[in-house]
Amino acid sequence: MVAVVDIGNASEPRKIVAAVDGTAPASSAAALPIAEDLLDGGEIVLLAVKPSGWFILFDSMRWLMLAAVLMAVGMVPALHLGDLTGQLWLQLAAVVAAGRLGIAVLRWASRHYVLTNRRVMRLSGVLRPEILACPLVSIRNTRVQRALHERLTGLGTIQYFFETPPDGDFDWREIARVDKVHEQVRRAIERALDHHPHV
């Protein structure tokens, strides 16, 4: 079963020092803030990763293309409409690009992918943070998928397959060293299934 947990009103978070790509963080600044009531008794965080910084660019791509069109319009006097001068078009393009990049930074900062000894989780959301979580024993298969933009930047997406598809987008997108992360996820799933052989 996949659970979506609203953490907007969760108790005060504590720092869980989690491995990132299999290595311990250098300081508590690298720790992942998780509200205590989101972890079950005996649940251990095995891995916590964020999307690559490329996520910011990819998440904003359509808006950046719109900004590029607005800039092009601003540079061609014949395309100006009414009182909109070339400078105003360029300013509008800059506002669109900067605004959308700012939103993407917030979306990136709030997104974490977490693997525990019992579940995989995706923390996301800016105004209303939430956790999408699923027991490891409910995952039927996983695979690494690389879209063109991910291949060009050395990233990848871990896709999860369930007997009953969950609500929302559960995939771990734009992950650096994705094969290594995927290997750790597969090992955790296999260990969980070993403890629940009849699932």
Domain range for residue 160?
3-51+114-195
Same-domain check for residues 45 and 134: yes
Same-domain check for residues 131 and 98: no
pLDDT given for residue 6 in this prediction: 37
Same-domain check for residues 37 and 65: no
pLDDT given for residue 107 in this prediction: 93
CB burial of 26-50 (b: ≥16 within 10 Å; e: otherwise) equals eeeeebbebbeebbeeeeebbbbbb
Same-domain check for residues 158 and 186: yes
| CATH number reported for the structural domain that contains residue 145 in this entry | 2.30.29
Same-domain check for residues 44 and 118: yes
Domain boundary among 106, 122, 148: 106
Q: What is the pTM of this model?
A: 0.74
In angstroms, the Cα distances linking 25 to 30, 32, 48, 108, 191 are: 5, 10, 10, 19, 24
Same-domain check for residues 84 and 153: no
Same-domain check for residues 38 and 124: yes
Number of domain units in the chain: 2
- Return per-residue pLDDT of the chain as tens, 199 residues: 444 433 343 333 333 334 444 444 333 334 455 555 567 777 888 998 999 999 999 999 999 999 998 888 777 776 666 666 778 888 889 999 999 999 999 999 999 999 999 999 998 888 888 888 888 998 999 999 999 999 999 999 999 998 777 776 789 999 999 999 999 999 999 999 888 755 5
Same-domain check for residues 102 and 86: yes
Domain boundary among 88, 106, 124: 106
Same-domain check for residues 66 and 132: no
Task: Give the integer Cα–Cα distance in Å for 135 and 131.
Answer: 13
Same-domain check for residues 33 and 67: no
Same-domain check for residues 95 and 170: no
pLDDT given for residue 126 in this prediction: 82
Same-domain check for residues 78 and 170: no
